[in-house]
Chain A
Amino acid sequence: MIMAALETALEYLENGGAEVATIAMLAAEPENLKARAEAVAARLRESGADADAEIAVGEAPSQIGGGTLPRSAIPSAVLALKPNGKTLDQFAEALRAGENPTIGYVADGWMKFDFRTVFERQDRVLEETIIKALS
């Protein structure tokens, strides 16, 4: 089973690797990531989530890996939220508790969502998860 997956993965590497999820993530342009973050931010505001949290879009570095490549920073775009009614810990817990557990990171007093590691197909689900976690 693992071998079948590896064989297939190696086939695309021969073709430049665009189909390999991690390679596609590495290659994603920060402008495109920012556009996605802004689209989600706009929809959050439309849904009234800005009553429950301060909403911003900004720049922050992604990393290739934690353990094996601790110094690999790549420019990326984040959606940043500061909830009004709950602490960041409570917000993080609510994000993990839903049907689609979501893991962001806390920096400078904001909960940040880096779009480089979120698959584009997950943008809507991320948005719904955030709305539920804020309420």
Chain B
Amino acid sequence: MSRRADAPTPAPSPRRIPQVDRVLQALADAPVPRPLVAKAVRAELARLRESGGEVPEFDALAAGIRADLERMARRRIMPVINATGVIIHTNLGRSPLSPRAADAAREVAASYCNLEIDLNTGKRGPRAGFLEACLAELCQAEAATVVNNCAAALVLILRHFALGKEVIISRGELVEIGGGFRIPEIMAASGARLREVGATNKTHLDDYRRAIGPDTGMILKVHKSNFYIEGFTAEAPPQDLATRAREHGSPFVSCLGSGGRRRPGARRSSTKPLPGEVLARGVCRLLQRRQIVGQSRRLQDHRGQSEATLPG
């Protein structure tokens, strides 16, 4: 009779935490870069070690980490089918490029290009001469330029024209737009001083008139692009604001907030002003999505400036 047969059955020994390398091997085809796989494996093993709990079977452990990595891989930017019916969908990348525009971007991206050289003279040239000329024509503006977005355009304009000066704006237009950008904060960041006039629902020309003075650097109009105020409302006509600003020798800036270049069609209603219409009313400078800030000859003598943008 062997002693072994009499020995008590030993308790099953707890499973040991596997080696990092072994888990890495099992996850060799995970759909994310190797260093991220290693980081996830180490983190999971460290968590097991610290918790002191039961170690799962190797396959289950690897499968759990793999599932996390696959979720991470789904956060990569990839094409999706937009069946929401929202044509310019911010969460889905806004406007798709046409194949020809995408080809143009791809061709330039994979090569050197004439970014700052004028091929006619061989000398240093302006960055976006052709683009700016096209855009100005499209918006019936005297000049145009492109920056990242409306907030960026507004910061540049405020900084240039209203540093340390007052910017007059209606209390109904102190808006917050996407990305948490707020007009008062943009103004503070630009070094301009906010001069609120009127009330949330009503602002009259007289309100602006009373606020204009030696400290005035600019009159700013921000269009209500992502909300509506209805009922007992009033706002000052832009052409009158433009006239008032011109008399004072200050720029009148209009922030349109979106890039519509034309009415979508007779049966479709939109009350949003278009760049050409706004400029025709004497606005000095106009901000739209994917923004254009333009400067005209008239800007120098402060009688007016123009600017416009591109369809977002």
Chain A interface (Cβ < 8 Å from any Cβ of B): 1-14, 19-22, 25-27, 60-72, 74, 76, 78, 97, 100-105, 112-118, 122, 125-126, 129
Contacts and interface: CB of A to CB of B under 8 A. Distances in A.
Nearest to B106: A1
Contact of B105 (A4, A12, A101, A126): A4
Interface in B87-125: 87-90, 92, 95-98, 100-105, 107-109, 113, 115
Nearest to A33: B85
B228 to A, nearest CB: 7
A53 to B, nearest CB: 15
A82 B141 CA distance: 51
Interface of B: 74, 78-90, 92, 95-98, 100-105, 107-109, 113, 115, 127-128, 130-131, 134-135, 137-138, 146, 177-178, 225-228, 257-258, 260-261, 264-265, 268-270, 272, 289-290, 310-312
Given A4-B108, A26-B264, A27-B265, 5 more contacts: A10-B310, A12-B101, A60-B85, A65-B90, A103-B82
Nearest to B261: A13
Contact of B257 (A26, A68, A113): A68
Of the listed residues B80, B84, B261, the one surrounded by the most CB atoms of chain A closer than 10 A to its CB is B84
Given A14-B134, A117-B85, A64 B264 contact: yes
Contact of B108 (A1, A27, A102): A1
A55 to B, nearest CB: 15
Given A6-B310, A9-B101, A14-B134, A103 B80 contact: yes
A117 B102 CA distance: 18
Of the listed residues A3, A62, A63, A71, the one surrounded by the most CB atoms of chain B closer than 10 A to its CB is A3
A72 B226 CA distance: 11
Of the listed residues A10, A12, A20, A25, the one surrounded by the most CB atoms of chain B closer than 10 A to its CB is A10
Given A12-B100, A26-B264, A63-B85, A6 B146 contact: yes
A68 B260 CA distance: 10
A105 B148 CA distance: 30
Contacts of A72: 264, 268-270
Contacts of A102: 80-81, 83
A93 to B, nearest CB: 11
Contacts of A65: 86-90, 258
A112 to B, nearest CB: 8
B84 A5 contact: no
A8 B226 contact: no
Contacts of B92: 103
A5 B86 contact: no
B83 A11 contact: no
Contact of B95 (A19, A21, A66, A129): A21
A71 B228 contact: yes
Contact of A114 (B85, B113, B260, B310): B85
A9 B97 CA distance: 8
A28 to B, nearest CB: 10
B96 A22 contact: yes
Given A1-B105, A1-B108, A22 B134 contact: no
Given A5-B105, A114-B83, A69 B97 contact: no
Given A5-B104, A65-B258, A76-B85, A101 B80 contact: yes
Nearest to B115: A3
A101 B135 CA distance: 35
A76 B264 CA distance: 15
Contacts of B127: 3
A3 B87 contact: no
Given A68-B289, A70-B226, A118 B82 contact: yes
Contacts of A4: 104-105, 107-109, 113
A76 B89 CA distance: 16
A101 B82 CA distance: 9
Given A13-B138, A103-B83, A114-B83, A5 B88 contact: no
29 contacts: A2-B105, A3-B146, A4-B108, A4-B109, A5-B97, A5-B102, A5-B105, A9-B97, A9-B98, A10-B310, A14-B134, A22-B311, A26-B87, A26-B268, A62-B86, A63-B85, A65-B258, A67-B178, A69-B272, A72-B264, A72-B269, A72-B270, A74-B268, A102-B80, A103-B84, A103-B92, A104-B84, A116-B87, A118-B83
